[in-house]
Structure formats: structure tokens, C-alpha cells
Amino acid sequence: MGSVREAWIALAHAVEPGDARLGARVNREGPEVVVDMISQRDQSIPEGVSARWDAAQLDACEQRAASVGARIVTRADTEWPHQLDDLGPRAPFALWVAGAPDLRLTLVRSVAIVGARASTRYGDEIARRWAAELAGRPITVVSGGAFGIDAAAHRGALLAGLTVCVVAGGVDVTYPQAHASLLSRIADEGLIVSETPPGQSVRRQRFLSRNRLIAALTQATVVVEAADHSGTASTAREANSINRPVAAVPGPVDSASSRGCHRLIRDHEAILVCTSHDVEELIPGGLGEDASIGGTSEQGNLGARERQVLDSLPMRGSMEMDALVCASGLRGGEVAAAIGLLELRGLIESHDSGWRLRR
Amino acid sequence: MGSVREAWIALAHAVEPGDARLGARVNREGPEVVVDMISQRDQSIPEGVSARWDAAQLDACEQRAASVGARIVTRADTEWPHQLDDLGPRAPFALWVAGAPDLRLTLVRSVAIVGARASTRYGDEIARRWAAELAGRPITVVSGGAFGIDAAAHRGALLAGLTVCVVAGGVDVTYPQAHASLLSRIADEGLIVSETPPGQSVRRQRFLSRNRLIAALTQATVVVEAADHSGTASTAREANSINRPVAAVPGPVDSASSRGCHRLIRDHEAILVCTSHDVEELIPGGLGEDASIGGTSEQGNLGARERQVLDSLPMRGSMEMDALVCASGLRGGEVAAAIGLLELRGLIESHDSGWRLRR
């Protein structure tokens, strides 16, 4: 293989999303070493991985992405959302992204709005209204592509701002079919994101591994409605496991669609939220009431975390993500969020494969 | 003054409910000493107390109670619910009780169902249904006499079992007037309880001090609906302050009548409950699924607390409440609840001013 970037792309083709065993090895030994082992059919590599490798046609992958209107964003790219690193060995190697906005910047302030496919009017109305309110502030809404709460959230967000749909199959796979026009509108005005190559079908396991991406890409997860023991609960669990705040919306006690929310609140796995403002309060590193994105370069009202990252950067030269995490003493996701804000404010800029203070 | 009992009655007339300063003094020096000081117009006694003392006509008080169909239950009586002692210096000295059932035994397994006067159909329906379900198990329902949730709880409880109404004025004072027939039904089939003498009017302060009684008489408090910063919140606060479990019922986020409940849950001042079974789980010292009240004298499935109290009683002779609290190492309210259960099971009986093992 050639560059590191190509190694990440190769891994994204060969390894099933969320494979923690290979992920740990990649994080330990580096992508290029593991890719070499796969291509040499090292006996420590599972047969399934080798078989997928054979089928991948890696030399044409960028072209194939482009042909479905997508680009590949790898861990080596500046567009990579580093908050995904919080997933550790389960972090994806690359993402397929359809849509114009920059993935990383779009997600600097973002919230996952998730919930039941079998939603009620009550849940749909809350998802739609809160998504519109949050998107207008602006906070990017992230959800899946399912019926019910997911669709209501995207529709609401599109009324006022950006929405990101994380799908379980390839970005070009329309699922469910009834959402064809919604998905194409999202690709036009927002982003469709997947960690599986174009053409890949949706599968039950991929919905579950997709949920970890929704949890990790965003700064907080809100469960609007959920049945007991539902798939939505898995997104909440993923978010909790990487210390992202989780919120749930209460509803009438007799509504089966609120039962999962009530259980999450009762078991202290989610805090209770009643308004979109309650949700906004969960998102750390806010800009403050008076700040306008991309406006002033004044450092006055930075959050503690942003200041910490700013103070960790050298006066000359740039620093890479890993070094910044180390220097600041913060978590990867926190540093990523802070970098996004500092960049939006014009205080830092990306340089080489890291960031530097802007003069 | 004559007996201790008379001293408690005198104090209940002279001191405004919840007066912690005089209450602490009474607990320290004994009721008779403080009553002597009041009757001798000791200069350390506030003028208001002396004035009330003059107006009390103490020699006729038992007669006056009987004339309105009530009896006086003092701290010296076996009918006294000792869980009130958990209020410390704010514990009442005596209660006026209208209705046939024994006050202490009625409250052994009891729950307060409280909430907004401006309730919704949703809240009324839950209060009514849960009260009926709990009363049928049987768990005594306790509430105030107000419109809304209070009334719905009493009406539900009366469908299936016992209800206790704690009023802010005298037991003979009908407030609100529209509840005249409900209150008379409660007096016929359950209990009306007050800590102010007959004829005393309701006042804002008395509603608040009444709320502490509702919290302290019961083993758990459920808030069904409550506006933000409502009077109902004070009952929840009182219950929390004496370590009684507090629960709240969630509802639609747009309902103003659920706002107080959501705040309580969010601030971890109440746990979220969805069914009357969730409420029942909060009540400690349950009889277990198979036990029938007053039935078997078998000691097999006693709770840890009941066993502790049973083991603390001497093999011969009786032991008073205070000594039992000391010997068992439990709280007053816990001992009182355990005593009630043990008595219902026929394992102990009251004797002199204490309890003894039953042969």
C-alpha cells in the first residue's frame, strides 16, 4: 500500500464496523502494519477479513465514492471528527460522506436526536420542534434514517439549519425506500455519513454499530421516545460508555413509547429534559449568549476547555491531535470540540497534520 | 396540670403547629415543665403562646372534640403514630382524629398521594387509579383535602380501602366548602386528622405545616402533578428532609401541571414512578406477597427491621418506644412501622405504655 490515508481506506473496506479486536491492533501497531498483514494473509488475520480484502477493489474506491456523490474521510484527513477517537478500538477507520459541508466543523456543536420508529404524534412533534430550535441556534442535529423520531428530527432540523444522517448501509443505499426524497434532501442540504462502502446493504448488526457512531459524533444524545429494551437504548448506552451526556424526554406514563425514556431516567442513565434549552445546556463548550460563530477573534469569553487547548499550542509551529490531547490533559473528544470552536473563532488554523496559533 | 396526656393537649392548644423553638424545649425538658412555664407566664414564653393559652378553655377540650365527632390522640397514647417523632422539634404534640379506625395501625403501610389543585384529567385519572390500586393491597392513602389531585386520590382510595385526610384547620371545619360531602364520607369510612383544635380556621401557614404531617405520617410520598414552585413541592421537601422516599409522576413536557414533577425528578429530589407497583416498592417493611395481615403468627417472612425490633424486646415485661428505638438502633419511624406490622401479625401487643412479646 501507499500512503497512511490509503491504509485507512483499506481497513475500512476489510474490517466490519466496530471490530474491537482488529481496532485495538490497528491503534497499537499502526494502520500500515495491519494492512500489510492483511495483504500478506498473515495467519493472525481472520479469514473473513481477507475475503473482504479480496473483494474490495481498492484502487477504484475513491472513484466509486465520487460516482455516488460521496468522498472518503479518513483518520488522516483534516475533515476527520476526532471525537470518534473516544471510541478507542471501536473507532471507525474512515467514513463515506455525501454532502457539501465540512464534516468536522459541522459537528463541533451537535446533538443526536434519536428514538423509536413506532413513535407517537407527541414524540414526532417534540423531535420536529426541538430539532428546528436547536438547528437554528445553530446546533447540528444528527440522527439515523429510520421512520418515526429519526425522520421527524431531520425534517425539523431542515427547517432551520443543518442535519446529519448516519446510515447503516452505504451512503447510496436508500433505506427505508419511503425515505428516498428525505435522504436526497439531506444530501443536498446537509450530510449523509456511513462507515461502510457504497453499495453495502443494511444489516441488523450494522444498525447497532451505526448507533455508536451517532453517540460518538455528537456532544450529547437525546432520546425522545423509546419502547422498553429498544435499539434506541443501545445508542444511549454507547453515549454513556464514552461519557457523553444522555437525556430523555418524559411522557404520559401510559404511553408504551415513553417507557424506555422513563426507564433511562429512573435508572439514572439519562437526565430528564423538558425543552430544547435543557438539551442545549448539555452541550459543553458553548459559545455563550453573546458570541457569534466565526465573528470576533477576541479571546474574552472562551470556555475553560478552549482556553486549555489554546494554552497548550506552541507559540511557533503546529501540534498534532495526539500531542494536543497529551499537552492539554483533556479527552480526545473534548480537544476536538475545543479545536472546532477555536478554529471557527479564527484563533487557530490547521497546518500540516495538526493545528497552530493564527497570527 | 394533671397527667402527661393533659400536658400534651395543653401544648397542642397553646403552640402553633411546627414551632420548632418551643418544640425543642418540650423535647428537652418534658411537656409538663413547659406547660408549667406557660401557665406561670414565664418570661421566656412568647406572648402569643400565653394569649392562646388563656383562650384555650382546656378543661372542656375533650368534650369539645367529642361534640364534633373527634377524639384527641396525644404522644402519650398508644394510638400515637410514632413515625411523627422523626420530625424532631417540629413534631406535633397531639392530633384531633375523626373516624373509627385506629390511627397508628391505619398508617403502618401508608403512602401520601399529593399534587396540584389545578390538576389535569391526566393527573386526576392517575391519582384516582393508583389510589384505588394501593388501597386495595392494602396500603392506606393519605392526602390533604384540596381540589384536584388530593380529592381524586381520596375518591380512588374510597373505592377499595382506607383513606386519611389531613386538614389544615379544625377537623370540623369544612374547607373547601365544595368538599363537604367528600369530607363527611372520609370521616365515615376513613379518618380526618388535624393538629389544630376544632373550630380553628385554615391559614396559609397552616397548609405548609400540615404538609409536614402528610410527609411524616406516611412511608413514602408521591407527587402526581405539581406546578413549578408549588405548595406540593413543600411536601416533597419535608419528606426528603426526614428521609422518606419521594416519587413523582412524569407527564407530557408541555403540561404546566407536570413541570414541578419534572423538576423534582431532574434535581434528584424524587424518583420517577410509572405505576402503582413502582410506588409500592418504595414502602419498606412490606408483608411480602404471601403474607396476609393479621393472619399467621409465623415469623418466617418478617423483614429485617421487624426482626430487629422483635429481637430487641425483652422475654418478660414490656419496653417503651424510646427504649425500643435505643435497643434496636433504628429510627423512630422505622420502629413505629415495625411495631405496627408485628402487632398486626399477632407477635407483639401493647402493654402499659409500651409493647411486649405475645405468648
Residue B297, pLDDT above cutoff 60:
no
What pLDDT sits at residue A290?
34
Distance of residue A166 Cα from the nearest chain B Cα, in angstroms: 28
Q: Give the fold, CATH level 3, of B304-357.
A: Arc Repressor Mutant, subunit A (1.10.10)
As a whole number, mean pLDDT of residues B257-265 equals 96
Choose the weakest-confidence range: B54-63, B287-296, B326-335, B337-346: B287-296
Cβ-based contacts of B249 with chain A (< 8 Å) = 253
* pLDDT tens profile B181-236: 999 999 999 999 999 999 999 888 888 899 999 999 999 999 999 998 888 888 99
Helix, strand, or coil (residue B325): helix
Question: What's the pLDDT at B288?
Answer: 40
Write a three-state SS string for chain A. CCCHHHHHHHHHHHCCCCCHHHHHHHHHHCHHHHHHHHHCCCCCCCHHHHHHHHHCCHHHHHHHHHHCCEEEEECCCCCCCHHHHHHHHHCCCEEEEECCCCHHHHCCCEEEEECCCCCCHHHHHHHHHHHHHHHCCCCEEEECCCCCHHHHHHHHHHHHCCEEEECCCCCCCCCCHHHHHHHHHHHHHCEEEECCCCCCCCCHHHHHHHHHHHHHHCCCEEECCCCCCCHHHHHHHHHHHCCCCEEECCCCCCCHHHHHHHHHHHCCCCEECCCHHHHHHCCCCCCCCCCCCCCCCCCCCCCHHHHHHHHHCCCCCCEEHHHHHHHHCCCHHHHHHHHHHHHHCCCEEEECCEEEECC
Note the pLDDT of residue A289: 36
Query: What residues of A are in contact with residue B262 (Cβ under 8 Å)?
Result: 250, 272, 274
CA distance A274 to chain B (A): 5
Query: CA nearest B275 in A: which residue?
Result: A253
Contacts of B327 (CB under 8 A, 6+ apart): B312, B319
Partners of A98 in the β-ladder: A70, A192
- Give the nearest chain B residue to A249 (CA atoms): B253
**Residue B359, pLDDT score:** 72
Task: Classify domain A103-281 at the CATH class level.
Answer: alpha beta
Q: Residue B296: pLDDT above 50?
A: no
User: Distance, in angstroms, between A131 CA and closest chain B CA?
Assistant: 15
Cα angle A36-A333-A71, degrees, rounded to a multiple of 5: 55
pLDDT in tens, B72-103: 999 999 999 999 999 999 999 999 999 999 99
Do residue B253 and residue A275 have CB atoms under 8 angstroms apart? yes
Residue B327's pLDDT is what? 79
Contact A266 B262 (CB under 8 A): no
Question: pLDDT tens digits, residue range A284-325?
Answer: 755 443 333 433 444 556 777 888 888 888 877 888 888 888
- The residue type of B37 is M
Q: What is the pLDDT of residues B123-138, one digit of tens each?
A: 999 999 999 999 999 9
What value does the mean pLDDT of chain B take?
Answer: 90
Instruction: Give the three-class secondary structure for B195.
Output: coil
Q: Express each pLDDT in B153-177 by its tens digit.
A: 999 999 999 999 999 999 999 999 9
User: Nearest C-alpha of chain B: how many angstroms from A281?
Assistant: 13
- pLDDT level of residue B330 (50, 70, 90 thresholds): confident
Could you say which of B126, B253, B271 has the minimum Cβ distance to residue A266?
Answer: B271
Residues of chain A scoring pLDDT < 70: 1-2, 285-301
Separation between Cα atoms, residue A54 and residue A58, nearest integer Å: 9
Residue B299, pLDDT score = 59
Mutate to test the interface with B, among A266, A273, A281, A282 (most CBs of B within 10 A): A266
Q: Where are the domains of chain B?
A: 4-98, 103-280, 304-357
Residue B260's closest chain A neighbor by CA? Answer: A274
In this complex, do A272 and B249 lie within 8 Å of one another by their Cβ atoms?
Answer: no
Specify the 3-state DSSP secondary structure of B34: helix
pTM given for the model: 0.80
Where are the extended beta strands (E) located within B20-123? Answer: 70-74, 94-98, 110-114
In the predicted model, what is the mean pLDDT of residues B130-150?
A: 96
Domain range B103-280, its CATH number among 3.40.50.450, 1.10.357.10, 2.60.40.1120, 1.10.10.60: 3.40.50.450
